[in-house]
Amino acid sequence: MRLRAGAQKPALRNWVPRLHRQGIFFALLGLVAIFAISSPRFATWPNISVVLLQGSLVGIMAVPGAMLILMGKVDLAVGSVMVLTSVVFGTLYYDGVPLAACIVLSLGVGVAWGVFAGFLVGYVGLSPIVVTLGGLAGVRGLAEMLSNARTNYGFGSNFGWLGTGSIAGLDVPVWIVIATFVAGFLIWYAMPYGRRMTALGADPEAAHAVGIKTRALPFVVYIGSGLAAAVAGLILTSQLDSSPLSIGLGMELRVITAIMLGGVAFTGGRGSLWGVLFGVAFIAALDNGLVLMNVNQFLSDVVIGVALIGAAAMDRLNENLERVMVPDVQEEGTARRAGGSGDVAEDAAVIPSVRD
């Protein structure tokens, strides 16, 4: 039996992407093992429920955030949308607006941001980094102006249930993030939108040529991202029972880190929502474990920064390896088609390797 070089090159080409996708799962297992050994409390159910609760905010925003990055877009303003949502809710509540109306109007803040950013990026064609970086500063500045340096607090037990209540033993925010991921999995894998987002991120011109709505799709997902940030802002406001201006600071970094740790390429066109789920769990477990070990809280930001750089480096390695290996495989397929091997089955086996 002959071992063809063509069978080895695709395997080598796929090794780095597989490590990128699955590495976060093994990194999560290793992190959990280290913290479980270091602190007996880490693996207890009360602490696990805390980890789930801590990861809920990042998880809610990571699902639409991953879809944006899959398409080659990004939303850097999620933290600012969180604080503006919180401030709007607190202001409306203390102006005597009914609770239900306060929640609906506050969620409208996220939808409004999504419409604004989605229109500028999707239809006008502005850079998503420029638009959302401007939103990061501008939306937070708007929250500061609206609050007038005043922190509202004391929103009552009914609203408090959103952040601290529980259903069947799980906190309400955990149920919300579960529902968010279930919806995300359906969109990503069970519907054609996942393939369309991947195609848009890989080659926008080709995606447009085959009929994909390259403007409307990012527009809709930006609305989803804004809505998710608004929900996260309300949850955190409920947990704190106040609307301080510190809400959402640095949240965009944690969301993007979780997404990239999960293997979603920052340049778009490649990614897995399963990896994003493990990335969110990694961030939550890291924050909780360091607290249990009485480590300086600022070290968590250092580790997250290092993890983000590492994820970016792995993504670049993946891209470079694909550039090197794909032409080699294509050349081999061309040579076989030109010369042939005399073995029909062997020649036909080359075609799937070229497509992959």
Tell me the percentage of the chain whose pLDDT exceeds 90.
Answer: 67
> In this structure, are residues 326 and 13 in contact, taking their beta carbons and an 8 Å threshold?
yes
SS3 171: strand
What is the chain's alpha carbon radius of gyration, rounded to the nearest angstrom? 23
State how far Cα 300 lies from the chain centre. Answer: 19
| pLDDT at residue 166 tops 60 | yes
| pLDDT at residue 89 tops 90 | yes
Least Cα distance to 24 among 286, 302, 199 occurs for: 286
Which residues are paired to 166 by β-bridges?
A: 171
Q: What is the pTM of this model?
A: 0.84
- Provide the pLDDT confidence category of residue 303 given band limits of 50, 70 and 90: confident
Tell me the percentage of the chain whose pLDDT exceeds 70.
Answer: 83
> In this structure, are residues 87 and 109 in contact, taking their beta carbons and an 8 Å threshold?
no
Read off the pLDDT of residues 97-153 as tens digits, 9 standing for 90 and up.
999 999 999 999 999 999 999 999 999 999 999 999 999 999 999 999 999 888 999
Read off the pLDDT of residues 64-80 as tens digits, 9 standing for 90 and up.
999 999 999 999 999 99
- Evaluate the CA torsion angle 172, 118, 121, 81 in order and state its sign: negative
- Provide the pLDDT confidence category of residue 158 given band limits of 50, 70 and 90: very high
For position 78, what pLDDT does the model report?
A: 97
| pLDDT at residue 205 tops 80 | yes
Mean pLDDT of the region 247-276: 91
| pLDDT at residue 167 tops 90 | yes
Which residues are paired to 153 by β-bridges?
A: 242
Domains observed in the chain: 46-331 (1.10.3470)
For position 20, what pLDDT does the model report?
A: 52
- Evaluate the CA torsion angle 136, 142, 148, 150 in order and state its sign: negative
For position 16, what pLDDT does the model report?
A: 52
For position 341, what pLDDT does the model report?
A: 42
> In this structure, are residues 62 and 259 in contact, taking their beta carbons and an 8 Å threshold?
yes
> In this structure, are residues 38 and 293 in contact, taking their beta carbons and an 8 Å threshold?
yes
Mean pLDDT of the region 4-22: 51
- Provide the pLDDT confidence category of residue 263 given band limits of 50, 70 and 90: confident
Report DSSP state, residue 242: B
| pLDDT at residue 49 tops 80 | yes
Amino acid found at 125 = G
Report DSSP state, residue 167: E
SS3 97: coil
Question: Higher confidence at residue 84 or residue 271?
Answer: 84
Which residues are paired to 242 by β-bridges?
A: 153
For position 321, what pLDDT does the model report?
A: 64
> In this structure, are residues 244 and 147 in contact, taking their beta carbons and an 8 Å threshold?
no
For position 129, what pLDDT does the model report?
A: 96
Question: Higher confidence at residue 17 or residue 272?
Answer: 272
| pLDDT at residue 192 tops 70 | yes
Amino acid found at 235 = I
Contacts of 245 (CB under 8 A, 6+ apart): 83, 87, 140, 143, 144, 147, 149, 151
Which residues are paired to 167 by β-bridges?
A: 170
Contacts of 248 (CB under 8 A, 6+ apart): 78, 79, 80, 81, 82, 83, 86, 140, 229, 232, 233, 236
Read off the pLDDT of residues 338-353 as tens digits, 9 standing for 90 and up.
444 444 333 333 333 3
- Evaluate the CA torsion angle 74, 56, 259, 287 in order and state its sign: positive
SS3 292: helix
The mean pLDDT of the chain is: 85
Helices (H) and strands (E) in the chain, counts: 15, 2
| pLDDT at residue 317 tops 60 | yes
For position 304, what pLDDT does the model report?
A: 80
Least Cα distance to 55 among 170, 168, 174 occurs for: 174
236: Cα within 13 Å, side-chain hemisphere: 29
Query: 55 in the Ramachandran plot: left (φ > 0), alpha (ψ -120 to 50) or beta?
Result: alpha
For position 32, what pLDDT does the model report?
A: 92
